[in-house]
Chains A and B, each alone.
Chain A
Amino acid sequence: MNINYNNIYAVVISGLLLLTVATHSALAQEKTTARIISTDAGVTDVLIALGMTKQIVGVDVTSQLPAESKIPRLGYHRTLSTEGLLSLNPSLIIGSTHMGPPETIAALKTYPLTLMQLDIASNEAMLAENIKRISALADKQQEAKPLLQHIDSRMLVIKQQQLPSNTRVAFLLHMEGRGLRLAGKGTTGNDIIALLGGENAATHNSYRSVSAEALLSLEPEVIIIAGQKGEKSVAGLMQSNPMLRYTPAGKQKKIIAVESHLLVAGISLKAIDAVAELSSQLYPVATP
């Protein structure tokens, strides 16, 4: 191993400098034939909704694709492999600010491609902003209009069916056999509670394990469970924690379920639909 590393790196660094100069010409490619990698489930949803499925050449492990799709998976969006990404020859990589590791992000910036990192949306305005940025980059402003209108119409439904102010809501992640995790501040669960107009019964940050007893003491008036089996989650939760019947939410039958895979990418298009659905379920129908 008598390689002189300093030499190699000196050359590599000067090569990088040359390359950055050279990228400008390479970047002037046609945008219509963009080869896109999406490393965020929400971004993938938007790309599909914009009718760009054919241009997606790779996605992260959380992205939901049409069943027949053969698009390669790049693994977890925080442990992306630089060479893995480059091997798909992308011209555009879109992900969230959580993309990683930092070394991969730093390396990607030295290659002739466009890297866009979007904030994970925690409300409808941020989601709309992300859609505008993606559609501007891909020259799909026309296709973005119905999406933005769809968000507005869903938000209208949600705004009309707000929970009474100061309603205490507990948002739970229910993992089969792994107990309950309660969504605190800074989580998608917290954002969903805010959209519904309720107040998060939890005061801690991120997700934390809770016991049925602790849940009882929080006295939630609404419990939302994110599980992998939709409706069955409620039954499963009640079966393993019969005490929950004695919470205000249990007494008023305000325990409802939502699909947990909607939560992987913040307030996404799918999450907005789910929140609208939740608000309809929770909105008290006036009994004649």
Chain B
Amino acid sequence: MQRLSLSLFLPLCVFLTAVAIVLSLTRGAMSLSATDSLLSVWDVVWGTAYSNLMEYQQLVVLDLRLPRTILALLVGAILAQCGAVMQGLFRNPLADPGIIGASSGAALAASIAIIFLPAWLAGVGIPIAAFLGALLTTLLVFKLAQGDNGTSVIMLLLAGVAVAAFGGAVMGFLNVIASDQALRDITLWQMGSVASASTESLVLCLLVLLMNSWYYQRHAQALNALLLGEAEARHLGIDIERLKIKLIAVTTMGVGVTVAVAGIIGFIGLVIPHLIRLLTGPDHRSLLPLSALLGALLLLLADIGARLMMAPSELPVGLLTAVIGAPFFALLLIKQRKAFL
């Protein structure tokens, strides 16, 4: 595969993302003039009054489309970055934030919260529960995989599988005892959506993205060294165990926060880093920021699709990412099989 040069790829990504943002703000179930839609955003930022939209139409752009556009960008970026770090850490292109049990843990805790929390607590309680669930399961998986001579990657993966299976079983049980209403809430919540973006969730995601990006970038070289193998990285003077714990903690926070604000959105963390590696090479210094950019772009495109395909009704965006991502995952497995045999 011919690798693209960064000087070509980066501007292309930025340009496409800009196009997607414009699309996202101007297209939706309601037909509004594209220019006026964009002008209404301009008006809000600069305090001008160029837009000819009615007041309630401006609200559709500013209150419905703008927040979800930003949330899709942020969540996509966080997920893709977390996926890139996981894949680097496990030196396995099949690794995904879901693998360390974060997604299933978050889903499980949130479901329990949906069933058992009183209604007035649910708004705050469900995201917090999702985050704690992600954290607890990750810690548990990590403990399980901790051996005398460090963390075994295979054990980590298997423990992740075990936790996911257990989570699935508990979910199944909750499905039996839950009321119809709670059951529907759980199903919907697991499908993932960026439709309900609040100011809090946007600020939270932005902070997490900035912090994670900064932290990951500092350890990009160490991740590069890891590509050579753990022993080689140790010889280079990298404290592998501490690096793993730190990066897993930061990644869990990223995944927990995205699950809490947008539900489970799969495959972004798997597909994007892989694509970037194919296109521009495995150097983490460029892989991490480019993954964030392309992840943001892909999730935004998926959300535009989710809004337009069935208008005036809407699809869960997690459904679209899975439709794109699952066949891709199968392809990866087929490629990997040669290595296993």
Task: List the interface of chain A (C-beta within 8 A of B).
Answer: 1, 3-9, 11-12, 15-16, 18-19, 22, 58, 61, 72-76, 78-88, 98, 101-104, 107, 110-112, 186-187, 205-209
Contacts and interface: CB of A to CB of B under 8 A. Distances in A.
Given A5-B202, A87-B312, A12 B188 contact: no
B144 interface: no
- Kindly state the interface size class of chain B when it binds its partner: 35 or more
Nearest to B73: A1
Contact of B181 (A9, A16, A98, A209): A98
Nearest to B199: A9
B157 interface: no
B179 A19 contact: no
Contacts of B55: 15, 18-19, 22
A258 B331 CA distance: 47
Nearest to B197: A103
Contacts of B56: 19, 86, 111-112
Nearest to A209: B176
A75 B181 CA distance: 17
B136 to A, nearest CB: 27
Contacts of B64: 82-83, 107
B60 A83 contact: yes
B31 A87 contact: yes
Interface string B42-76: 00110100000001101110111110001001000
Nearest to A9: B199
A61 B313 CA distance: 9
B199 A81 contact: no
Contacts of B176: 208-209
B196 interface: yes
Given A12-B44, A74-B313, A79 B62 contact: no
B307 interface: yes
Nearest to B196: A103
Nearest to A84: B312
Contact of B45 (A4, A22, A73, A81): A4
A8 B307 contact: no
A76 to B, nearest CB: 7
B184 A78 contact: yes
Nearest to A22: B55
A74 B206 CA distance: 32
Interface in B199-230: 199, 202-203, 206
A79 B190 CA distance: 13
A206 B314 CA distance: 28
The 5 closest A-B pairs by CB, nearest first: A75-B313, A84-B312, A103-B196, A81-B314, A87-B30
A252 B185 CA distance: 41
Contacts of A22: 55
Given A5-B70, A81-B312, A88-B312, A15 B180 contact: no
Interface string B166-208: 0000000000101111001100100000011011001100100
Interface in B253-287: none
B97 interface: no
A222 to B, nearest CB: 23
A7 B63 contact: no
A85 B30 CA distance: 9
Contact of A186 (B29, B73, B179, B184): B179
Contact of B44 (A8, A75, A84, A205): A8
A8 B30 contact: no
A107 B179 contact: no
B312 A72 contact: yes
Contacts of B199: 5-6, 9
Contacts of B314: 75, 79, 81, 84
A84 B58 contact: no
Contacts of A15: 55, 58-59, 62
B59 A16 contact: yes
B28 A3 contact: no
A136 to B, nearest CB: 26
A21 to B, nearest CB: 11
Given A15-B59, A88-B312, A111-B59, A83 B28 contact: yes
A58 B282 CA distance: 51
Nearest to B180: A206
Contact of B196 (A11, A19, A101, A187): A101
B29 A84 contact: yes
Which of A73, A84, A111: most chain B CB closer than 10 A? A84
Contact of B313 (A5, A84, A205): A84
Contacts of B195: 81-82, 101, 103-104
Contact of B311 (A4, A76, A84, A98): A84
Given A12-B44, A75-B314, A81 B179 contact: no
Contacts of A83: 28-30, 60, 64-65, 307, 312
Contacts of A6: 199
A107 B63 contact: yes
B37 to A, nearest CB: 12
